[in-house]
A and B are shown apart, each in its own frame.
Chain A
């Protein structure tokens, strides 16, 4: 089952990177399945059989050598597309129940302090190690100058969220160089939603109920096409609204 998953991912990675560059738009509903159904649907809908056989052998080699790093190469392959409208296909929505958990390489990374930086790989691996529920990493398109990666994690209880946040801060402090700014936990007194902003990544720790209310993944993948945004009624200006008023200061 695990081997099949990785093979499907390898297939879809090569096909997708070629297709995304030619800017194929994928339906937004596809973005919210699990990894298996995403890759299957894309493989079937794209239907490029000659790519599969060529990639099969190379994928199996790459799977055996470095499955941990290969797994995150897929995320980076998805992010090669420039179109911002493809952001829902760029979003790698992972359900923990379907994923492999490679802890061995992540433990050794902590000891090599000078060589490792606190990157997305390190963060995702430590969140997996902490039994994070419903980890979701979204690659933010370049036009939105906020961060590069937007991560939403759920936890079992408020105490679990706090523990994950504190552990992430601890690992960051261990791995950071001296010129990197210190990072603080925002929302420490709110027990259902905490955030940490690491420069290029933003992590949100929420309880599942809070996650349902805000639906941040939907907003950040479908930027303007989000349903909650569309249901906000458009405002009308009053008739005597003066448009270009001079500001005397």
Chain B
């Protein structure tokens, strides 16, 4: 639902044939960083706040860690639709541990202040190593449909 902004960020490349991507003659490399302030993220639950279209993509405005870098399982503060909302990172583009999944988009699940998820279902795969991390992740794992 927030993927149109992804396409705008890759719009520096000339694509002759939009449908046949395999015909390009140059290599394409992606940004692969963890989540910090001002990153645009993708909300992956079925909450109304995350899914209603808005002219600006949701951005991270604060990361609740000691350094400002957010990895999987960290809480962040998002600016969505002109309001502030806390969220939990469930996947990022940056490669982490060798046997941990890496996602093609920076995924985030909206959370209330008391830790309850705002949405009720998550369709996107969620990493299972969230369970071993220190923190309250059982609620997010309980509403997830598929695990990676």
* Physical interaction between A and B: yes
- In the bound complex, residues from chain A placing their C-beta under 8 Å from that of B18 are 239-240
Chain A residues 116 to 163 lying within 8 A of chain B, measured CB to CB, are 144-146, 150
Cβ proximity bits A225-249 to B, threshold 8 Å, 1 near / 0 not: 0101101100101111111011111
Asked whether any CB of chain A lies closer than 8 Å to the CB of B65, the reply is: no
Asked whether any CB of chain B lies closer than 8 Å to the CB of A223, the reply is: yes
Q: Is the CB of A193 within 8 A of B116?
A: yes
Interchain CB contact (< 8 A) of B46 among A210, A228, A240: A228
Interchain CB contact (< 8 A) of A235 among B3, B21, B32, B121: B3
| Stretch from A49-57, A66-74, A102-110, A213-221 that touches the partner | A213-221
What residue in chain A is nearest B112 (Cβ atoms)? Answer: A190
Asked whether any CB of chain A lies closer than 8 Å to the CB of B101, the reply is: no
Asked whether any CB of chain A lies closer than 8 Å to the CB of B6, the reply is: yes
Range class of the B interface residue count? 35 or more
A residues near B (Cβ < 8 Å) are 144-146, 150, 186-187, 189-193, 195-197, 202, 204, 210, 213-216, 219-220, 223-224, 226, 228-229, 231-232, 235, 237-243, 245-249
B residues near A (Cβ < 8 Å) are 1, 3-4, 6-7, 10-11, 13, 15, 18-19, 21, 27-30, 32, 46, 93-95, 102, 104, 112, 114-116, 120-121, 123, 128, 131, 136-139, 141-143, 145, 147
